[in-house]
Amino acid sequence: MDKYCVFGNPIAHSKSPDIHAAFAAATGQQLTYEKRLAPLDAFAQAVQAFIAEGGRGANVTVPFKLEAYRLANALTVRAQAAGAVNTLLFDEHGITGDNTDGAGLVADITANAGVPIAGKRVLLLGAGGAARGAVLPILEHRPAALVIANRTVATAEALVQQFAPLGGEGVVSACGFAGIDGRFDIVINATSASLQADLPPIPASVFREGTLALDMMYGKEPTVFMQFAAAHGAIVRDGLGMLVEQAAEAFHGWRGVRPATAEVLAKLR
């Protein structure tokens, strides 16, 4: 039986084992998938121990995505672009690092929410690891504009410099939260503000009737960002669909089979 796991600290709350068990059952794949609490100062050792036990692959969550990036001896293009790794594949070549977060986000927007990104104005809030992973997959869908807004403008500008060549002339731009101008078709909260029940300091004018506002965080109740967006006419989504879709992308990378996600997402809801 092939073994997989998710590494994190904390990890008790993770829904990943339920998601991957459902994928395996639906696709007839024989595997086990468990949660593993990795010590904060011994992530690499935890991974090596799992490989020694016969582990075939792993997901990586907070706070180890940068360490996983450094640990991998081969990286996919999207992992290189993100500068972070959330999916590891173990084989005779060593450790391959991938990043399925951005692909999961885009799949949730385009397939589950039914909102095309092509030709749309997209606002990405934040310029940390979560935002970085999203930029390349969003640009692959050819938005009319991608504005990256962040507290520290220099961090957002560094992302623009990295990704501008891929987006086409003038598509990607950066600003501070106070400098956000105009309305957007899609607004993505990739900041950690929702963890503190906080709101990124953005103007209500970014939303119009029917804007899709997606928070990468999820919980039992709508986040403060979702409540704010909904109050100004937006259609809101949390990060649960993204979680399921990035898991499906990882599962496909490991097993070569792409699981259907609708039923699993409905069950988690």
Query: Which class for 47: exposed (0-12), middle (13-18), buried (19 or more C-beta within 10 A)?
Result: buried
Determine if residue 15 is labeled as part of a ligand binding site.
yes
65 is catalytic: yes
Question: In Å, what is the CA distance from 1 to each residue of 15, 31, 253, 257?
Answer: 21, 5, 17, 17
Q: Is residue 31 within 8 Å of residue 7, measured between CB atoms?
A: no
**Nearest Cα to 123, choosing from 203, 184, 179, 190?**
184
Give the phi and the psi of residue 109 in degrees, each rounded to 5. -70, -50
Determine if residue 41 is labeled as part of a ligand binding site.
no
Determine if residue 1 is labeled as part of a ligand binding site.
no
Determine if residue 128 is labeled as part of a ligand binding site.
yes
Determine if residue 32 is labeled as part of a ligand binding site.
no
Determine if residue 260 is labeled as part of a ligand binding site.
no
The 3-state DSSP class for residue 212 equals strand
Determine if residue 218 is labeled as part of a ligand binding site.
yes
Determine if residue 69 is labeled as part of a ligand binding site.
no
Q: Which residue out of 65, 120, 220, 267 is catalytically annotated?
A: 65
Can you say which residues are annotated as belonging to the binding site? 14-16, 61, 86, 101, 126-130, 216, 218, 239, 246
Binding site, annotated residues for NADP(+) = 126-130, 216, 239
The residues annotated with a catalytic role in the active site are: 65
Residues in binding site for shikimate = 14-16, 61, 86, 101, 218, 246
